[in-house]
Structure formats: structure tokens, C-alpha cells
Amino acid sequence: MTGRVRGPRRAAVAASVVVAMVVVAMVVVANVWAYGTGAQADLSADRRFSLTPETREIIGRVDAPLRISVFLNLEGGTARDARFLLARYRERNRRIDYRLVDPDQQPGEARRLGVTTYATVVLEYRGRRVDAPGVDEVEISSAILRLLRGSSPTVCLTTGHGEWTLDDTSRAGVSDLAELFANNAYETREIDLAGRASVPDACDVVALLGPRVPLLPEEVDALGAYATAGGRLLVAASPLSTTDPNPLLEPWSVRFVGGLVVDARRSEGLDVSNLIVERFPTTNPVVEGVPRLQFPATGGLLADSEPARGITVSELAATSDAGYIESTPDDGIVFDAGADVPGPVLVAAAVDASRIEEGGERRLRTGDAGIVRTRLVVTGNAEWFTNEFLGRLGNRRFMTNALAWLAEEEGVLAAPSRVSTVRPLPWTAERQATVVAVTVVGVPASVLAVGLGVWFVVRRRERPRAATR
């Protein structure tokens, strides 16, 4: 009898255990799968907690513990936003850890890391340290990128010829470009080549950002020697300048022909010289992801049809077929077949010149010899990266790509435009009184009043029943 009862019961228990194990296994599998997908929907304004593909790529490259310490006041929305953002980094790579520290509450920790001000972000990775200027995605990711690189390329900016200065915040200035350099982990350095025989060794890239007066012969020689020795040049020529960049460019099979490029079919509004460039003739990393460019007051470029041996010229950007180079814009914008150059007109080009030399870059085992690689990016315009135009169309991306290509960086950030996330609600005495009156008193009191009413009704109904009984 006992055996007959125990048998089915034991079977039922065994079945329950098996079912439970299967359910638990399914739950574990579902959670591991969901954890691995990283899928999420971002309903926040401007999707500000969706990390860019560049950031995700950078996060994926972190292969050792990376600690982010944010020093700020822990009260308020800024700290919460910082926590939300950094949580996204950790969610994607658990090697990334973060903490928020109030330097007033933990002065010892602040002192240890040499932090004296709020809103300081310290990133530590493989014994190295990089400070980020703030807690937003671009700044954090750029700092991680610098840590991953191990060093920051230096962009040297020539001075002394009326070039743009990085601290000019006017529409015609280039302070946004300075921010782009910083956000993408580039050091910047101004160099005055007058009286110098060579470009400083520290320069990974030399940028001539719109010189307005001619370069001295020794400066041209120094830059030429730098380029020949595997240097990287970013040359922004301008038809509005008296500088002739051709002594620098011609050895590399590119020429600046000046004039004023006009394109009635691809320009903004009625200004036919304010070009909207949509033609990117060659596939090149510099124009990757660039939808369109805005180039105002541009001069034309010419690339040699048969470049010298070892030199590759990529035509980066050109006008439509309707564009042309107006050689005498002061006499009116009318195409003159005899004097003007018909389109499509080249307005940006990239040069890659490689040769094998002793002591060159050695990625392949070729004895002591290696590749000496010269790279140039040339634009016929020196306005496209000013504060007024850098954020237009794909100009920012174009600059970011150009810097990355010149410095042979593998991954950099095209800094997204920043969105104001603060939604002010000044906490006045009147507002406080309203909130207290409604939420602390009004709504709960209403619920209690309804409850009281229901209780009375129920009691009144129950009394006659009790009396009947």
C-alpha cells in the first residue's frame, strides 16, 4: 500500500524537479542571450544615451581594467547624468568601471589624484592616466582613445602669416576646430618657422590653415623637407589670400589654380560660389561617411593626370559638371570659354606618396628598409572649418577623417553636436507650496475621502442585513 502511494509521489517530485531545472536553464539562457545582444530602445530626448558607433568601437577595444573617476558634486542632475552615461560604458564592457567622487567628501582621494576642481574626470588604464575635460560621451570616449593609443598625436599649426587662431570664438574664428582637436585627443602646437631650418620633430601633422601672406622661402623649404621626409601636411589654400601654396604642392602632383569656383547647380541660395559639394570621385577614408560638404569662396585644384612614381592623388571632392573656375570674378560671374576652366572642378585632394627607404616604417619584414609615407590633404578653401561652417553638412566629419588619415589613426570620433539637456524648473516657494498641496496633501486626502465614503456606504448596506439576521 505504502509503495503504491510513494511511487507516484516520487515520480511527481522527480517530474517537478526536472521541470524546475528546465525552467531555470531556460531563464539562464534567455538572460545570457539578452545580456549579449545589448539591444535597447532610447526614448530620451535626442537619444542622448545611445552611444555612437565610434564610441562602441572604442569601448570594444578596452581589454584591461579601465577606471573612470568623476569628481563632482553628487547632488543634482549632472551627477545623475554622469552616472547614467558611464553605466552605458560599463554595460557594454564590464572591464570599464566608474565611480563618482565628491572632492569635498573624499578630499584624500581627490588629493591622491591631484584633483583640485569639480567636474574633473580621471581615467586610468594599464598604469596610464588621462584627464577628460568633462563628462560627456565625446570627452570620455576621446580620453579612452588616448589611453588606448598610448600617446596623442601633435598637430602643429603654422603661425605668422595671418592664419586662423584657435582661441577665436567669432563666427569667422576656429575655436570649434580647437575643440575638435581636443575631443579627438590631438595635442596642438603653434609653430613659427621663420628662422627655423626644420619643422620640430614633435609634429605628427603640420596644418597650414589659411595663411594670408606668403610664406618665406626658408619656411617653404622647411615644410618641403618635412613632407619629403614622410611628413603629413594639411593645406587649406584660399583664393582670397596672396599665399602661393604651389611650391609645397607641386612636388606631389597637385596644384592650386585659384580663381573662384562657382557652381550654379550645387550652391547655397543665390550665392553660386558658396558650394555644396556632393561629388566625391574616389573612395578614400577622408570622405568616408561624409554626405556633403559646404565650401564657400573656393579656389580650384588640379591633379596631374600622370603623377610621379609612387604618388597617388585621390580626388576627394569636386563640383558638378555645371561648375567652373571663374578666373576674373570681379568682372562678373559669367563663363568665358577662353579664360575660365570648365568643370567638374576639383576642390579637395589627398596625396599618398610611399617609397622604401632605410629606417622607414616597418610593418613588413624587409630588413632595415621600410616605407616612408608622405601624406597631404589639400583644400582650395580656408573657410570650411571656421566656426560658421565646421558644423555644416559633413565638414566636421571631413576634418576628423582628414586628421585621422594624416596621423594614421585607426579610430577617432566625429564629435556630435552637443545638445542642451538642462530643463530648468526654478524651485520657488510658490512651486514648492503647489507641489506639497497637490501631491503630499491633496491626492492622498482625496483617496482617504473616497475610502471614507465607501466605508460609510458599505456599513449602511451591512446594517440592515445584520438587523434582518
Partner 1 sequence: MRTAFTIAWRDVRSAYTRPVGYGVTAGFLAVSGVVLVTALRGGEARLDGWFAPLFVLSGVLAGLLSMRSFAEEEAAGTLEVLLTAPVRPWEAVLGKLLGVLGVFAVVIAGTLAAPVLVAAMGDPDAGPILTGYAGLALVGVAFVSAGVAVSAATRSQLVAGTASIGLLLALWFGSVVASTFSGRVRLVLEYLSPSNHVTGFLRGTVALVDVVYFVSFTALAVGAAVTIVANRR
State in Å, rounded, how far the first CA of the chain is from the last one.
50
Which grid coordinates belong to 82?
554622469
Q: From the CB of 18, what's the least distance to partner 1, in Å?
A: 13
Q: From the CB of 66, what's the least distance to partner 1, in Å?
A: 14
Q: From the CB of 165, what's the least distance to partner 1, in Å?
A: 37
Considering beta carbons, is residue 5 or 41 the nearer one to partner 1? 41
Query: Count of CB atoms within 10 A of residue 43's CB?
Result: 7
Query: Which H or E element spans position 31?
Result: helix 2-37
Name all contacts of 325-328 with Cβ < 8 Å and 24+ positions apart: 325/257, 325/258, 325/259, 325/260, 325/261, 325/299, 325/300, 326/259, 326/260, 326/261, 326/262, 326/273, 327/259
- Chain centroid to CA 265: how far? 31
Name all contacts of 133-137 with Cβ < 8 Å and 24+ positions apart: 133/182, 135/70, 135/72, 135/78, 135/81, 135/82, 135/85, 135/86, 136/85, 136/418, 137/51, 137/52, 137/55, 137/85, 137/416
Q: From the CB of 457, what's the least distance to partner 1, in Å?
A: 9
Note the residues at the interface with partner 1 (CB under 8 A). Answer: 16, 20, 23-24, 27, 30-31, 33-35, 37-45, 49-50, 75-77, 80-81, 83-84, 87, 91, 94, 422-427, 431-432, 434-436, 438-445, 447-448, 450-452, 454-455, 458
Considering beta carbons, is residue 14 or 225 the nearer one to partner 1? 14
Considering beta carbons, is residue 76 or 150 the nearer one to partner 1? 76
Rounded to whole angstroms, how far apart are CA atoms 137 and 89? 9
Rounded to whole angstroms, how far apart are CA atoms 432 and 438? 10
Considering beta carbons, is residue 39 or 270 the nearer one to partner 1? 39
Q: From the CB of 222, what's the least distance to partner 1, in Å?
A: 52
Q: From the CB of 207, what's the least distance to partner 1, in Å?
A: 39
Considering beta carbons, is residue 80 or 112 the nearer one to partner 1? 80
Q: From the CB of 15, what's the least distance to partner 1, in Å?
A: 12
- Strand partners of residue 131: 122
Q: What is the dihedral of CA 14, 20, 22, 24, to 10 degrees?
A: -150
Considering beta carbons, is residue 9 or 128 the nearer one to partner 1? 9
Considering beta carbons, is residue 171 or 461 the nearer one to partner 1? 461
Considering beta carbons, is residue 197 or 425 the nearer one to partner 1? 425
Q: From the CB of 55, what's the least distance to partner 1, in Å?
A: 15
Considering beta carbons, is residue 49 or 335 the nearer one to partner 1? 49
Which grid coordinates belong to 113?
589624484
284 touches 296 (CB < 8 A): no
Q: What are phi and psi of 426, to 5 degrees?
A: -50, 130
Q: From the CB of 112, what's the least distance to partner 1, in Å?
A: 19
